[in-house]
Chains A and B, each alone.
Chain A
Amino acid sequence: MILETVLVSAPDWAVRHAAVLIVVVPMLLAPLLALSPSNRLAWVLTIAGTAAAFWFSLILLAIIQEVPGSAISYALGNWPPPIGIEFRIDALNAMILVLITGMGMLASIFAWPTLAAEFRGERLNLFLCAFLLCFAGLAGVAATGDAFNLFVFLEVSSLATYVLVAMGAGKDRRALPAAFDYLIMGTLGASFYVIGVGLIYAATGTLNMADIAAQLPALSGNRSVQAGLAFIIVGLGLKAAMWPLHQWLPNAYAFAPGFVAMFLSATATKVALYALIRWLFTIFQPELAFEAALLKWVLAPLAMAAMLICSVQAIFQSDVRRMLAYSSVAQVGYILLGISVGTAAGVSAGLLHLFNHSLMKGALFMAVAGICLAYQARTIRDFAGLGRSAPFTMAAFGIAGLSLIGVPLTAGFISKMQLGYALLDQGWWWAVAVLVFASFLAVFYIGRILQAVFFEPPLNPRKNNKEAPLLLLIPLWILALANIFYGIDASFPAGLAADGAAAALALGAPQ
């Protein structure tokens, strides 16, 4: 209903070019921000850029939903694909685009109070410029239909991300080695991806994703193609923080500025997971024997290892943000487990959890950023008694935390239940056992914080009650209420995820 209104009210040029404008507008705004004379103007422009991208993503979603199973193909420079670069939007990337741009918009709104305090107003416009470049790169990864173009956008966003993480050095110098490690690991991941694309290009002679998908059935059993897929999975797995390749993530999230940690946790790994789904299901077919073996014997065990090991590691962290970071790796495991089932139900459950995890981790990191700002709190002990000093901030934190555990009536419950059903359909009862046990571990690590926040007296009794700034509370409560709303009426995200999974699997069907 809202979507139809957006489509009807949108001007003709926006409808025709939305697929490319969603990337071009933030990317062209970024250098303007670097020239901006005032920090406040730069911040307003950032919100305008991300809001415009969000609007374009809603237009795209509305166009896609008008005709089920349709796709928008936008030929860049009017060179028809597969010769030219194509932006291809179907139900899968329309969902991812709405998610990224929506989270980007909420993140840019609360950027001002946190950044103004953390940097004392120095060169904020350059920081926001890097943020918009990262945002544009992520949107580009989600929008493009060209395998090599995806690498370029991945590197645009990654290079900007290294800068953003390193900016945490103003508060804690450990952000610098964290950013450097991330740079080495991230570049290796992207390089592995390029090697994989090269091997597949050698076999198929094309870089257009749809064209590769059409060529592959004739090449089944080709070693070069199989090696290419292996390289691509390792490369994208590094970017998505797949379990043994996640070493860069905890430090990067723990020492980055609060705003960056929130934006990255909600979007960056999600986009890499999207690319993984695209390669595994749209370009390659899960019916291929070697891919079925890969899903069941490589991805599923790694996903379960992530869920168990990183949940246990999260329990033993004293730094709140580092704990949330380990929990993020565990949640990536849930999403990968859904993907590794390989059925429409499994991919749909994985996508739904991807969406919901974005909502809950976004809210959690946002609340922590607000507390860092108001109380300089970092460890769990610093959080003691905050439930009384900052009730609004911590209530939203509590809601998102319960959603992370998967308590009924929250979004996390719905996606974990769908995941469980998808696993039982395949008879993977052992995976369901791991799922339940990992959720049980989440009760411990979230419970530790919630207990400190709501049931323990503050360490040093505080004289004044201080909430996070209003500009942070508004997006925080939007996310927290979304966690409850989508836990009661999940039809919108579940519909998106089901359409997305159908689009991912259908395009790969032999023509």
Chain B
Amino acid sequence: MWDIILERGSYWAIIGVMMIGLYIAFSAENLIKRLVGLSMFQTTICLFYVQLSNVANATAPILLPDDMPKGAYGAERVADLAHAYSNPLPHVLMLTAIVVGVATLSLGLALIVRINEAYATIEADEIRASDVEVQLAEDADAARTGGEVVI
């Protein structure tokens, strides 16, 4: 029982941080904190992929000197390699995911700047409250100019 849990210790740690990030992204009222939670969530996905690519007793997927191609480029086969390497594909995928994450984060921050200009606050509950006020004022306005309020 303990073996199974401890063998996958890194996954447990990753899932733990992931859930913390998810919880912050959902529950925080401060918009910056929500973005921080979102970033944590995305970063743990990168950790998850890198963990997937791990091969037992292998090194990072960067060729060591004695594995450098000697003949024609690409003539090396996996069987000829002197060292074991981790799977490089998930690393490459995560490079793309990191770029996507940076784009999302910067767009989110830009939106927060605009929200701060428009509402003078970055707290979600205060934004909601001021939206409700605007809505009520509009409804009252409409009622005054005639016509019954429809539901």
Known: A166-B111, A191-B41. A152 touches B90 (CB 8 A): no
Contacts of A188 in B (CB 8 A): 22, 25, 38, 41
Whether B150 contacts A380 by the Cβ 8 Å rule is yes
Whether B131 contacts A177 by the Cβ 8 Å rule is yes
Q: How does the 8 Å CB contact mask read for B112-151 relative to A, with 1 for contact and 0 for none?
A: 1011001100001001100100100000001001110111
Q: Which of A21-29, A43-51, A168-176, A362-370 contacts B (4 or more CB under 8 A)?
A: A168-176
* A180 at the B interface (CB under 8 A): yes
Q: How does the 8 Å CB contact mask read for B5-18 relative to A, with 1 for contact and 0 for none?
A: 00000000000000
* A179 at the B interface (CB under 8 A): yes
Q: Which of B66-120 contact A (CB under 8 A)?
A: 90, 93, 96-97, 100, 103-104, 107-108, 111-112, 114-115, 118-119
Contacts of A389 in B (CB 8 A): none
* A148 at the B interface (CB under 8 A): yes
Contacts of A316 in B (CB 8 A): 151
Across the two chains, which residue of chain B brings its CB closest to A181? B124
Whether A187 contacts B104 by the Cβ 8 Å rule is yes
Across the two chains, which residue of chain B brings its CB closest to A149? B96
Say which residue of B93, B103, B114 sits within 8 Å of A159 (CB atoms).
Answer: B103
Whether A459 contacts B104 by the Cβ 8 Å rule is no
Contacts of A180 in B (CB 8 A): 31, 108, 111-112, 115
Q: How does the 8 Å CB contact mask read for A308-320 relative to B, with 1 for contact and 0 for none?
A: 0000000010100
Contacts of B112 in A (CB 8 A): 180
Q: Which of B38, B93, B100, B118 has the most CB of A within 10 A?
A: B100
Contacts of A90 in B (CB 8 A): none
Across the two chains, which residue of chain B brings its CB closest to A176? B115
* A387 at the B interface (CB under 8 A): no
Across the two chains, which residue of chain B brings its CB closest to A158? B104
Whether A195 contacts B45 by the Cβ 8 Å rule is yes
Question: Distance in Å from the Cβ of B129 to the closest Cβ of chain A?
Answer: 12
Contacts of B103 in A (CB 8 A): 155, 159
Whether B48 contacts A155 by the Cβ 8 Å rule is no
* A381 at the B interface (CB under 8 A): yes
* A201 at the B interface (CB under 8 A): yes
Interface size range of chain B in the complex: 35 or more
Q: How does the 8 Å CB contact mask read for A411-430 relative to B, with 1 for contact and 0 for none?
A: 00000000000000000000
Give A173 to B134 CA distance when docked, in angstroms: 11
Whether A318 contacts B100 by the Cβ 8 Å rule is no
Whether B147 contacts A381 by the Cβ 8 Å rule is yes
Whether B114 contacts A152 by the Cβ 8 Å rule is no
* A194 at the B interface (CB under 8 A): yes
Give A194 to B44 CA distance when docked, in angstroms: 11
Whether B115 contacts A177 by the Cβ 8 Å rule is yes
Q: How does the 8 Å CB contact mask read for A181-209 relative to B, with 1 for contact and 0 for none?
A: 00110011011001100100110000000
Contacts of A198 in B (CB 8 A): 45, 48-49, 52, 90
Question: Distance in Å from the Cβ of B90 to the closest Cβ of chain A?
Answer: 7
* A379 at the B interface (CB under 8 A): yes
Inter-chain CB contacts under 8 Å: number? 86
Contacts of A381 in B (CB 8 A): 142, 147, 150
Question: Distance in Å from the Cβ of B148 to the closest Cβ of chain A?
Answer: 8
Whether A169 contacts B118 by the Cβ 8 Å rule is yes
Contacts of A151 in B (CB 8 A): 97
Known: A163-B107, A187-B104. A148 touches B93 (CB 8 A): yes
Whether B34 contacts A194 by the Cβ 8 Å rule is no
Q: Which of B30-54 contact A (CB under 8 A)?
A: 31, 34-35, 38, 41-42, 45, 48-49, 52
Contacts of B52 in A (CB 8 A): 198, 201-202
Whether A173 contacts B31 by the Cβ 8 Å rule is no
* A162 at the B interface (CB under 8 A): yes
Contacts of B100 in A (CB 8 A): 152, 155, 159, 190
Whether B127 contacts A177 by the Cβ 8 Å rule is yes
Across the two chains, which residue of chain B brings its CB closest to A186? B104
Say which residue of B25, B114, B134, B149 sits within 8 Å of A184 (CB atoms).
Answer: B25
Question: Distance in Å from the Cβ of A247 to the closest Cβ of chain B?
Answer: 11
Give A179 to B108 CA distance when docked, in angstroms: 9
Give A180 to B48 CA distance when docked, in angstroms: 26
Give A179 to B114 CA distance when docked, in angstroms: 11
Contacts of A318 in B (CB 8 A): 149-151
Whether A184 contacts B34 by the Cβ 8 Å rule is yes
Give A163 to B107 CA distance when docked, in angstroms: 8
Binding site for B on A (CB under 8 A): 148, 151-152, 155, 159, 162-163, 166, 169, 173-174, 176-177, 179-180, 183-184, 187-188, 190-191, 194-195, 198, 201-202, 316, 318, 379-381, 384, 448, 459
Q: What are 26 contact pairs spanning A and B, CB under 8 A?
A: A152-B96, A155-B103, A159-B100, A159-B103, A159-B107, A162-B107, A173-B118, A173-B119, A174-B131, A176-B115, A176-B118, A176-B119, A179-B111, A180-B112, A183-B104, A183-B111, A187-B42, A187-B104, A194-B97, A198-B45, A198-B52, A201-B90, A202-B52, A316-B151, A381-B150, A459-B145
Excluding A148-B96, A151-B97, A174-B134, 19 further A-B contacts by CB distance (< 8 Å) are A155-B100, A159-B100, A169-B114, A169-B118, A173-B118, A174-B131, A176-B115, A176-B119, A177-B115, A177-B124, A180-B115, A184-B25, A184-B35, A188-B38, A194-B97, A195-B45, A379-B142, A448-B150, A459-B146
Q: Which 5 A-B pairs have the closest CB atoms?
A: A173-B118, A155-B100, A176-B115, A180-B111, A202-B52
